Amino acid sequence: MFRSPKSTFALVLFACLAPGVCYAQGYQIGTAATAVEIAGWDIDIRPDGKGLPAGSGNAVNGEETYETFCASCHGVFGEGEGRWPVLTGGEGTLADDRPVKTVGSYWPYASTLFDYIRRAMPFNAPMSLNDQQVYDTTAYVLYMNDIIEEDFELSQDNLAHVEMPNQGGFYVDNRPDVANPRCMVNCADPDSMMMQSSLAGVTPIGHFVEGADAPAASHSGQDELEASKEAERKAAITGEELVAPVAQEATAMSDQAMAGEATYKAACGVCHTSGLAGAPKVDDADAWSERIQQGTDLLIIHALQGYAGAEGYMPAKGGRADLSDEAVTNAVLFMVESQQ
């Protein structure tokens, strides 16, 4: 393995003379990757627990971490907010037409749950949790699914031994690989193709088909689709003609607000385009009217320091500790001025 002298991206150049006998080609590019650099990428965790970092955690401590970083999408009790994934329940539904796949009903290995949380969560800041937080959060999710007790100390020594309810539902796929020739002429139109699964009903794929009764490829896309369906239903009942909304003339934004658009899209839009945990949507003038009456300064304080109240919940800086106060302030100004 080699790394470029101008970046940390690995460039692998190997030649194998025989099975298991490989050597690095002498292309005189970069320098050999160090053990420390390789370790930074080697973070996968196997079902048998190999790769788990040293440490431990429990559900008691995990509750606070979960509510801070996870509840805004997955719900306080793992029930899922809006159309975000449900983490609890679903037992006995895997044979249904629309199975409820959760950690309790579907996930095969506790060790890979740790792996997924560490590398992919929270959604707006993946890999921002330390190992202690991941152990605690993993324990809390398992506890919510009645898989471990509240005071059970989860660690690298016992995590792989936690037996998941659906572990026996997985098996090694021993079907041979099939090398299909690449189509070069008179190829089928990809838009006319339909994805199929050999295990019908396990993974719904309706979201690849426009108008299907399944989650859209994006949450904002599903919101637009559902709003359109609702308008059509109301028009059919009342006999009124569907009228497209009149576009309003955009009001010029301040330089700060325009600078905050990128931060909004990267860190705030996850909740503020879907209304998760009470977050006012950017296109909901009524919801923002109530907030704006409180004063922009107070909204900025809530965004910087976090907020929990009757209107909703938001962690400090939306759970993004890497954002500067200026970036968060500009993002708030973008959202406020978008309502004008």
User: Tens of pLDDT along 299-312?
Assistant: 888 888 887 766 66
The answer on 134 and 61 residing in a single domain is yes
The answer on 37 and 66 residing in a single domain is no
Residue 138 lies in a domain: yes
* Residue 69 vs residue 40, higher pLDDT: 69
The pLDDT assigned to 310 comes to: 62
Residue 119 lies in a domain: yes
The CATH number of whichever domain residue 143 belongs to comes to 1.10.760.10
Percent of the chain at pLDDT exceeding 70 = 71
Mean pLDDT of 89-108: 90
Of the candidate ranges 1-5, 15-19, 104-108, 137-141, the one whose mean pLDDT is the lowest: 1-5
The answer on 163 and 135 residing in a single domain is yes
Assign 214 a pLDDT band (cuts: 50, 70, 90).
Answer: very low
Total-model pTM: 0.53
Four-residue CA torsion sign, 232, 236, 238, 240: positive
Domain that holds residue 108: 56-169
Residue 178 lies in a domain: no
Please tell me the distance from the alpha carbon of residue 317 to that of residue 302, in angstroms, as a whole number.
9
The answer on 72 and 27 residing in a single domain is no
The answer on 76 and 23 residing in a single domain is no
Is 15 in contact with 23 (CB distance < 8 Å)?
Answer: yes
Please tell me the distance from the alpha carbon of residue 280 to that of residue 222, in angstroms, as a whole number.
17
Residue 241 lies in a domain: no
Structural domain count, the chain: 3
The answer on 20 and 99 residing in a single domain is no
Please tell me the distance from the alpha carbon of residue 100 to that of residue 85, in angstroms, as a whole number.
10
CA dihedral 64, 70, 72, 76 (to 10 degrees): -60
Residue 326 lies in a domain: yes
Residue 205 lies in a domain: no
The answer on 60 and 33 residing in a single domain is no
The answer on 111 and 162 residing in a single domain is yes
Please tell me the distance from the alpha carbon of residue 236 to that of residue 334, in angstroms, as a whole number.
37
Residue 176 lies in a domain: no
